[in-house]
Amino acid sequence: MQTKIEKINASSALAIKIIEGENEEDLSFLSFREKLAMANISHPEKQLEWISSRRAIFDATNALGIEYPGFFKDEHGKSQAMDEKGHVSLSHTKGVATAIYHKVRPVGIDLEFIREKVVAIGPRFLAKEELEFLITNPVHFTMAWSAKESIFKCLGKRGVSFREHIRLAPFEMNSETISGTVQGHDYQIQVSQMENLILTYTIW
Ligand SMILES: CC(C)(COP(=O)(O)OP(=O)(O)OC[C@H]1O[C@@H](n2cnc3c(N)ncnc32)[C@H](O)[C@@H]1OP(=O)(O)O)[C@@H](O)C(=O)NCCC(=O)NCCS
């Protein structure tokens, strides 16, 4: 599995894993609870995505010199550290998985394939003002979608509407940062494109 690890600063790191072939990972780092959750995923491809995203957390914590604490899902579906220290967010899709870890601040990360259909569903997740500045281009729309997913995951609560509550400031298709606001808090979202994927992340 090819891995890219980025140490963002002394408190935070992210890892991206390209999933190729069968699982060859040593799973001994997983907690008993995580092994049970993994065993419940019947689809082999989905299970491999799940494993790869946990391995990405392992690599990110390792880059910071932190022992993998094990994670459980809270009532909103967000992963929480079993030692109650640090924050994590993860994303996985066909062939790729990623995770970000921060020692003290909540984080959100998202990976999305650039697909034509995102333009058509724009009015479902974008406000009128956002639709006005976006070019009719799947890259621009995917950046907006993914930025909102990262903010949503950083918040970690259900009941937040992408269209009604999360507002993005105008940005260009080559922007590396997007500004967003929700519940009175301003977020800076980092954006990058890797072939046909958009990666975004934000730190509270
Ligand atoms: C839950 C959700 C954030 C997952 O995102 P996704 O792009 O489908 O999938 P990803 O692979 O990027 O992320 C999955 C991970 O998100 C995490 N996650 C799930 N719920 C979460 C929450 N409430 N907060 C933070 N992280 C969450 C989990 O770790 C999950 O991985 P796991 O199941 O392996 O543990 C997303 O499906 C969602 O509900 N988004 C809001 C939908 C919405 O409001 N849409 C609006 C308009 S159309």
* Ligand 1 midpoint to CA 117 (Å): 19
- 71 and 137 housed in the same domain: no
Lookup result for tokens 């609870």: 33
Q: For 45-57, what is each residue's pLDDT tens digit?
A: 999 999 999 999 9
* Residue whose CA lies nearest to ligand 1 atom number 19: 77
pLDDT at 159 (0 to 100): 86
Pocket test for ligand 1, best of 90, 102, 115 (most atoms within 8 A of CB): 90
- Is residue 117 located within the same domain as residue 79? no
The residue range of the domain holding 156 is 110-203
Shared domain for 72 and 35, answered yes or no, is yes
pLDDT per position as a tens digit, 138-147: 999 999 999 9
Please provide residue 102's backbone torsions phi and psi, each rounded to the nearest 5 degrees.
Answer: -135, 135
Q: Are residues 93 and 6 in the same domain?
A: yes
Averaged over 166-176, what is the pLDDT?
Answer: 97
Question: What atom in ligand 1 is closest to the CA of residue 79?
Answer: 29
Are residue 58 and residue 122 in the same domain, yes or no? no
> Do residues 96 and 20 share a domain?
yes
- Tell which atom from ligand 1 comes closest to the C-alpha of 111: 12
Residue 18, strand partner residues: 2, 96
Return all residues near 49 (Cβ < 8 A) that are at least 6 apart: 19, 92, 93, 94, 97
Number of domains, the chain: 2
146 C-alpha to ligand 1 centroid (Å)? 11
Domain match, 39 and 91 both: yes
Q: Could you tell me the distance, in angstroms and rounded to a whole number, from the CA of residue 100 to the centre of ligand 1?
A: 14
Q: Which atom of ligand 1 is nearest to the CA of 92?
A: 11
Q: List, in sequence order, every residue forming a beta bridge with 200; answer none if it has no partner.
A: 110, 191
Q: Is residue 15 located within the same domain as residue 66?
A: yes
Instruction: Judge if the beta carbon of residue 142 lies within 6 A of ligand 1.
Output: no
- Answer with the one of 89, 105, 121 that is the final residue of a domain: 105
Pocket of ligand 1 contains residue 152 by CB under 6 Å: yes
Domain co-membership, 121 together with 178: yes
CA distance to 95, 135, 163, per residue, from 20 (Å): 7, 34, 36
Residue with CA closest to ligand 1 atom 45:
162
Question: Ligand 1 center to residue 49 CA distance, Å?
Answer: 14
In 3D, which of 134, 152, 146 has the Cα closest to residue 194?
Answer: 146
Same domain, 13 and 101: yes
Residues 119 and 196 in one domain: yes
Last residue of a domain, one of 70, 105, 140: 105
CATH of the domain at 52: 3.90.470.20
Q: Are residues 184 and 116 in the same domain?
A: yes
Question: What pLDDT score was predicted for residue 84?
Answer: 85
pTM listed for this prediction: 0.94
The reported pLDDT for the residue numbered 20 is: 82
Q: What is the pLDDT of residues 27-39, one digit of tens each?
A: 889 999 999 999 9
Out of 55, 83, 105, a domain closes at 105
